[in-house]
Amino acid sequence: MTQELTPDAVKRAPRRKKPSTSVFDVVNPATGEQVASVPDMSAADVDALAARLREAQPAWEALGPAERAKYLLRWLDWIVDHKDHLLGLVHREAGKSWGDASIELMVCVEVINYYAKHGEEFLAEETRRPHGPASLTKKLRILRRPYPLVGVITPWNYPLAMPMMDVPGALMAGAAVLTKPSEVTPVAWAEAVRAWNEEIGAPPVLGCATGQGETGRAVVDAVDMVQFTGSTATGRRIGIRAAERLIPASLELGGKDAMIVLDDAELTRTVRGAIWGGLFNAGQSCVAVERVYVEDRIYDDFLARLTAEVSSLRVGHDGQGDFTAEYGAMATETQIEIVEAQVADAVAKGARVVTGGRRTGEGLFYLPTVLVDVDHTMSCMTEETFGPLLPVMRVADEAEAVRLANDSPYGLAGSVWTSSDERARRVGAALETGGVNINNAMTNVFQFPLPMGGWKHSGLGHRFGGANGVRKYCRQQAFVTERVDLKNEIHWYPYTPRKGAVTEMALRLTGMHDWRRRLGRRAR
Ligand code: NAD
């Protein structure tokens, strides 16, 4: 069944700016079925939407964090009450298994609750103790004021969860938010934004600009701060444009996460962790396990178990609510071609496919795949796959594992599997990544009190987590108040020799660290 979307953006655009009439189709990659027809918004559409959001923002900020939190919770209620409808859209537009789609609801619940609960505390005014005698009469405070309009641009892998990781923090900060979901999967998010604007009585401070890369470009040009999640190539382009516009850009980019399996790891959990970490969502996660390094002593055992369990995964696009498949389709033909090219490159250089390694079915399905005899001359070990490959490499020891794990331009996250706390700490702390998981994979992303962000080419800044997940959408205002009403200050005009001498004496007495300088004596 297809549904026509009429984003509020287009409906409420001012009359003098004609909304774009062009639309594009969103297609279920598992079945080829059309899911929706969505407006392809022009730069003029984006500007009109941005203007409307800006108009609504001051009143939203003035509400204060406690009132804003109430709207976020009301939105969450609507999302949970309509979960089958929303997750159904996710399931179809991304071709996921129902189980993979369902996890997106967890992100909505956790992120909204976290920021609704802590937003007020994170935004609270801070006082600071004055430093130096000249400042003793001052009261020092830090106020946090939002960027009026924040842009949130997201990729296709989690249609609902991706924007949901950013938007609650920005709304809590008091910003208006202009979102741009991926052109591959815009439907569920557009529906969530429609609900904000039409179903829960919230102020119109959340907008959704549907369209291609050009629409995203227009968003970057319309906002005061941009939060981007997506490929490193697009992130770099956005970073450059943001620098030209002198607006901040927070960038969450690609990854090539390594899993290090030490020889004292508990193998049942480790194998299951590798499978979930590498193959959840058909491997299309920024923090997916993309390469596995296993110590020699347990390599054969690990590989045998991994191969058996990967081969037994149920592949398919199960029905809504069915939970009869673990593993669904990939989102785009381009993505499946990247996987095919990496497998072909690896095999040509001597790797072996031990399970999977080909397409299956009618839609965009690629079997979950384990590769062995791999090394760092192969693209599957060095370039982002964003697909269902688990290349497994034998290593002699910890040191070799760490060296290979860090041999990457990316630094998003990584994992270490061991039963020793000491080895976990040593090896984990040696990883050049923004996140480290011990005996788990990808789980750092779901620890909302912790910062989530990539190092090296995986990003700039932190995406969300903790106080920074709200504060990053604010400008700090240094607020200085005089406690004492003096007629004049000692360093104000007019300058006189006496004021100069008194100032120097005060500086010496309070600022010097030895008596000779305090008393103004010269060194011999
Ligand atoms: P992409 O970079 O092609 O597109 C992401 C978004 O940017 C889309 O909405 C797109 O329309 C928009 N866009 C494209 N060109 C633009 C421009 N010039 N200006 C502004 N916006 C523009 O990424 P993708 O293919 O949708 O997603 C896959 C990539 O996302 C992978 O590299 C993956 O690692 C990365 N990703 C990273 C994280 C993370 O948290 N680090 C999470 C998920 C995905």
Say yes or no: CB of residue 253 within 6 Å of ligand 1.
yes
Q: At what angle do helices 43-63 and 65-81 cross, to 10 degrees?
A: 120
pTM, rounded to two decimals: 0.94
Strand 249-252 and strand 459-460: the pairing is antiparallel
Q: In angstroms, rounded to a whole number, what is the distance separating the alpha carbons of residues 141 and 480?
A: 6
Burial of 132 (0-12, 13-18, 19+ CB in 10 A): exposed
Res. 1: pLDDT tops 80: no
User: Stretch 306-324: mean pLDDT, rounded?
Assistant: 95
String of DSSP letters for 139-164: EEEEEEEE-SEEEEE--SSSTTHHHH
User: Stretch 348-353: mean pLDDT, rounded?
Assistant: 98
Res. 17: pLDDT tops 90: no
- Please, which residues have CB within 8 angstroms of residue 312's CB and are 6 or more apart in sequence? none
Res. 494: pLDDT tops 80: yes
Res. 73: pLDDT tops 50: yes
Res. 187: pLDDT tops 70: yes
Band (pLDDT 50/70/90 cuts) for residue 11 is: very low
What's the gap in Å between 114 CA and the centre of ligand 1? 25
Q: In angstroms, rounded to a whole number, what is the distance separating the alpha carbons of residues 354 and 372?
A: 7
What's the gap in Å between 464 CA and the centre of ligand 1? 17
What's the gap in Å between 125 CA and the centre of ligand 1? 35
Res. 75: pLDDT tops 90: yes
Res. 158: pLDDT tops 70: yes
Name the residue type at position 135: S
Domains of the chain and any CATH numbers: 30-253+467-475 (3.40.605.10), 257-449 (3.40.309.10), 490-516 (no CATH)
Which atom number of ligand 1 is nearest to the Cα of residue 184? 26
String of DSSP letters for 286-327: TTSEEEEEEEHHHHHHHHHHHHHHHHTPPBS-PPTTT---SB
Say yes or no: CB of residue 451 within 6 Å of ligand 1.
no
Say yes or no: CB of residue 159 within 6 Å of ligand 1.
no
Say yes or no: CB of residue 220 within 6 Å of ligand 1.
yes
Q: In angstroms, rounded to a whole number, what is the distance separating the alpha carbons of residues 374 and 381?
A: 7
**Which of 1, 3, 329 lies closest to 187, judged by CA?**
3
190 and 253 in contact (C-beta within 8 Å)? no
**Which of 143, 167, 120, 148 lies closest to 59, judged by CA?**
148
Q: Catalytic residue numbers?
A: 252, 286
Say yes or no: CB of residue 163 within 6 Å of ligand 1.
no
Which atom number of ligand 1 is nearest to the Cα of residue 334? 25
Band (pLDDT 50/70/90 cuts) for residue 354 is: very high
387 and 336 in contact (C-beta within 8 Å)? yes
What's the gap in Å between 230 CA and the centre of ligand 1? 3
- Residue whose CA lies nearest to ligand 1 atom number 9: 182
Q: Choose one of 231, 250, 333, 342 to mutate for the ligand 1 pocket test, by most ligand atoms within 8 angstroms of C-beta.
A: 231
251 and 239 in contact (C-beta within 8 Å)? yes
In tens, the pLDDT along 288-306 reads: 999 999 999 999 999 999 9
In tens, the pLDDT along 388-418 reads: 999 999 999 999 999 999 999 999 999 999 9
- Residue whose CA lies nearest to ligand 1 atom number 36: 230
What's the gap in Å between 324 CA and the centre of ligand 1? 30
Would you say the C-alpha torsion 458, 464, 466, 469 has a positive or negative sign? positive
Band (pLDDT 50/70/90 cuts) for residue 521 is: confident
Q: Choose one of 182, 384, 444 to mutate for the ligand 1 pocket test, by most ligand atoms within 8 angstroms of C-beta.
A: 182
String of DSSP letters for 215-281: HHHHHHHH-SEEEEES-HHHHHHHHHHHHHHT--EEEE----EEEEE-TTS-HHHHHHHHHHHHHGG
Q: In angstroms, rounded to a whole number, what is the distance separating the alpha carbons of residues 129 and 139?
A: 8
Say yes or no: CB of residue 383 within 6 Å of ligand 1.
no
Q: Give the strand order in the sheet containing 369-372.
A: 352-355, 369-372, 389-395, 289-295, 257-261, 413-417, 435-438
What's the gap in Å between 155 CA and the centre of ligand 1? 4
142 and 125 in contact (C-beta within 8 Å)? yes
- Residue whose CA lies nearest to ligand 1 atom number 8: 182
Residue 19 has a pLDDT of 57
Residue 3 has a pLDDT of 36
**Which of 139, 170, 140, 135 lies closest to 152, judged by CA?**
170
Q: In angstroms, rounded to a whole number, what is the distance separating the alpha carbons of residues 201 and 137?
A: 47
Say yes or no: CB of residue 252 within 6 Å of ligand 1.
yes
Say yes or no: CB of residue 180 within 6 Å of ligand 1.
yes
Q: In angstroms, rounded to a whole number, what is the distance separating the alpha carbons of residues 253 and 287?
A: 10
Answer left, alpha or beta for residue 182, where phi above 0 means left and psi between -120 and 50 means alpha.
beta
- Residue whose CA lies nearest to ligand 1 atom number 31: 231
The Cα angle at residue 271 between residues 269 and 411, in degrees rounded to 5: 100
